[in-house]
Amino acid sequence: MKKLWNVALVGVTGVMGEQVRELLEERGFPVGSVKFLAQGKGVGAILEFQGKPVPVEELRHDSFQGVEIAFFCGGSSRSLEFCPSAVKAGALCIDSSSAWRDDPEVPLVVAEVNPSGIGDSSRKGIIATPASLTIQLLTALQPLHDAVGIRRIVLSTYQSVSGTGRKAIAELQKQVGELLNGRPIVCSAYPHQIAFNCLPQIGDFEPDGSTAEELKIVNETRKILGSEVRVSATAVRVPLFYGNSAAVNIETGAKLTADRARELLAAAPGVELVDDPTAGAYPMAIDAAGQELVMVGRIREDRSLENGLNLWVVADNLRMEALNAVRVAELYLEMRGLPHD
């Protein structure tokens, strides 16, 4: 008989928690019992799971008794405070926040890139998953890195407001309406107007002029691909509700033609090749919405480098991050020799 798992979902009322809840159902994850946990105004709400009503309970340190797998989908402060309590109660924590990503004793895992890292979770009982942009970037680059080695990555990202949460989605929607009707706007989710604008700032600025998001992309990429890979990132917030895009330039250790890169990407797990520019076929955020694949196109050799290549990489940021968390849980079951579907 298939084992069923007692699952907790922390931050269930947020945009990430909502996505994880949907994917657990859609993918038939073997859930025995489920706890929905949150803080603030979401507590007391009734959500449906597997056709049954489930109340949202207040997140407390004693919330994890009997829980075997806990998905953390909220902020980093919440994960730092409550993951140790979940681990102490016997749960494996799969954390989507930035809380544990830099911890050398916590594996940082992209399911299609470095699944072997899941085996290192026994050190602290926590598996960290990267930011959505890092997930889509490495899903696209890993097959190229395996083939010829990547020495340097330079990327510019164009990231939707959903990465900031429901407040930012509502703010963009409201600002568009106010501006189209000639009314003044209010900025609260971001320091400047986001409607009809691009903000070259995601997160606070660091002393060197980088933003927190840019450093996050650099550090996460190097932790997974290797510290010898040089990475430079510029992160921009754009007035889209969903979907992240990235213009990526790589320098490889050996020559990699655009045609060979297409062959590698066409065969790569989790990747959809969309690369026929003459027919107007290239990845776009509107096409990625709701999809569970990283879309790659505009592949061309960089004439300014001996071994350079340019790519355009697009994914649904929320779906990609939630899917990675669920895929990590599925792979964890597989590695323990337990069926999950």
pLDDT digits (tens, 9 = 90+) for 71-129: 999 889 999 999 999 999 999 999 999 999 999 999 999 999 999 999 877 778 999 99
Percent of residues, the chain, with pLDDT higher than 90: 93
Phi-psi region of 205 (alpha: psi -120 to 50; beta: other; left: phi over 0): beta
pLDDT of residue 42: 86
53 pLDDT more than 70: yes
Grouping H, G, I as helix, E, B as strand and the rest as coil, residue 280 is: coil
Domains of the chain: 5-130+321-335 (3.40.50.720), 133-317 (3.30.360.10)
Tokens describing residue 65: 């008794």
Q: Are 98 and 75 in contact (CB under 8 A)?
A: no
| Alpha-carbon span 257 to 296, nearest angstrom | 15
| Alpha-carbon span 53 to 257, nearest angstrom | 54
Tokens describing residue 198: 């691009």
- 7's enclosing H/E stretch is strand 5-10
Q: Are 321 and 111 in contact (CB under 8 A)?
A: no
Confidence of residue 230 (pLDDT cuts 50, 70, 90): very high
Write out pLDDT tens, residues 283-299.
999 999 999 999 999 99
Burial zone of 232 (CB within 10 Å; 0-12 exposed, 13-18 middle, 19+ buried): middle
Mean pLDDT for all residues in the chain:
94
Specify the pTM.
0.92
Confidence of residue 3 (pLDDT cuts 50, 70, 90): confident
pLDDT of residue 338: 58
